Amino acid sequence: MPFLLDQTRASSSSSGSSSPSVAGNRYYFKSLSFLRRSPAPSSPINQPTTPETELPFPFPPPPSPPSPSPTVDRRRKLKRKGSMPFRQRMARHFGDSLSPEKAYLSYYDVLLTVEDIKSLKNDWLTDNNIAFWEEYLERETLPRYPQARIILLRPSMTFLLMKEPDMKQIMNALPDFTKVSHVFLPINDARSVTVAEGGTHWSLLLVSILDGVAFHYDSLGGANFHEAQFAARRMGEIIKRPMRFINLEDSPQQSNGSDCGVFVCLLMRHLLVKRLLSANAREKVSMSMGGKVVDSNGGRKEMMRIIESLRKEGERRRSRSASPFTSKTPPRIE
């Protein structure tokens, strides 16, 4: 049965001639018919069912509208020479556990470093931070829905999709989308292929392959509009069908210059768990996030709690190993 996705205050531009059937400002989709009819069970990643106006975090009252002056996401804070903290200087000198490059947690295909953990606490999220969150959702949430056909594309694969000119190389590297219904893509505005961890802003693109529609959620106005539109067009080329691009102008907005990655992670989980996986076959589902307020600080703390819990479990497993080389490896979950 078709599904109704309410789209409010959305602006759209089409990269092809075909589009979902439209009645007023409502888009009818068919790509959720494979989902279970029962709501998702309660878990650390999937909280008990809440009203649609709430995200799975305790949200504060909506803040006053942000200042119209532009905000710029900065990945790193500028540092003057000689301003490096004493503990960091000592860590760099002796190569101890405080070294930014030192591995902190190995979680299946993602290796988090000390630098990644520092960024997660109060800075611009790294590629590894977002890749870990996607890996965690895939390992802890998606297995409960064996019929779900949803892919969480890693930041590195999204970057390849947008920067590699050879379409054959892209298709060889990306997953097979033949039987996939939806794809989540973290969008970054990095332009140089030679700069690691480049770019200044993250946003989220949700592609419905069966319906040929891509929804863009940007916490900084339209900062990544063109990047997301281009990614949607490339996805259309890969699946060989036109892709309609919808920029959701009512997406929750960040109030500082470093929370864009946290917004991507929290919106990704909410859209995955509360909108796609929890939908019933005859239910009307709105993909708009208008009116939502994201508690980015609470999101950072929850992600840190998850990582610390996994790290402790990895340390317990490592302590039970008889291998003399195991003690030199980071806590591992696989």
Per-residue pLDDT of the chain (334 residues; tens, 9 = 90+): 333 233 334 444 444 433 333 333 344 454 454 444 344 444 333 343 333 433 444 344 444 544 444 444 444 433 333 444 544 544 444 444 557 889 999 999 999 999 999 999 999 999 999 999 999 999 999 999 999 999 999 999 999 999 999 999 999 999 999 999 999 999 999 976 666 567 899 999 999 998 899 999 999 999 999 999 999 999 999 999 999 999 999 999 999 999 999 999 999 999 999 999 988 766 778 899 999 999 999 999 999 999 999 999 999 998 887 665 556 788 999 8
Let me know if 251 is exposed, middle or buried by CB neighbors in 10 A (0-12, 13-18, 19+).
buried
Q: How far apart are CA 325 and CA 47, in angstroms?
A: 39
Task: Yes or no: say if 114 and 99 are a contact pair by the CB < 8 Å rule.
Answer: yes
Active-site annotation holds for 265: no
Query: Which one from 116, 189, 259, 260 is the annotated catalytic residue?
Result: 260
pTM: 0.73
Neighbours of 330 (CB within 10 A): 17
Active-site annotation holds for 260: yes
Please report how many Cα atoms fall inside a 13 Å half-sphere around the Cα of residue 311, on the Cβ side.
16
Active-site annotation holds for 270: no
Query: Which one from 182, 201, 216, 270 is the annotated catalytic residue?
Result: 201
What structural domains does the chain harbor?
A: 110-333 (3.40.395.10)
Q: Say whether 203 sits in a helix, a strand or coil.
A: strand
Q: How far apart are CA 212 and CA 233, in angstroms?
A: 10
Query: Which one from 182, 218, 259, 265 is the annotated catalytic residue?
Result: 218
Neighbours of 59 (CB within 10 A): 15
> Encoding tokens for residue 244?
């309609």
Strands (E), 211-295: 213-217, 244-248
